Amino acid sequence: MLTAAQIRAARALLGWSQPALAAAAKLSLPTIVRMESQQGPGRSAAANVEAVQRALEDAGVCFIAPEGSGGGGPGVRLKHG
């Protein structure tokens, strides 16, 4: 499951604004704002979380799961071009 921090970090790596992510994921801006808030994506519909993840991955983001981070927790990075 994605975290709010991962979504914010992924956007930062891409230089995307919240409206840009909303457009790429075909979701409303309030949905993106809510997913990045303290409530996090866990309160969103699974299809919305998948849409955000897919949009970010299509743009070149790799999500790092907590168990794959060497003890550093969940994270993000850009794919090698």
Read off the pLDDT of residues 16-73 as tens digits, 9 standing for 90 and up.
999 999 999 999 999 999 999 998 999 899 999 999 999 999 999 999 987 755 667 8
Continuous segment of H or E residues that includes residue 76 = strand 75-78
Dihedral (C-alpha) 13, 17, 19, 20: value to the nearest 10 degrees? -50
Could you please state the CATH topology (level 3) that the domain comprising 4-78 is classified under: 434 Repressor (Amino-terminal Domain) (1.10.260)
Q: CA 44, CA 79: separation in Å to the nearest integer?
A: 26
Read off the pLDDT of residues 3-16 as tens digits, 9 standing for 90 and up.
999 999 999 999 99
pTM of the model: 0.89
Q: Please report the pLDDT score of residue 81 as a whole number.
A: 63
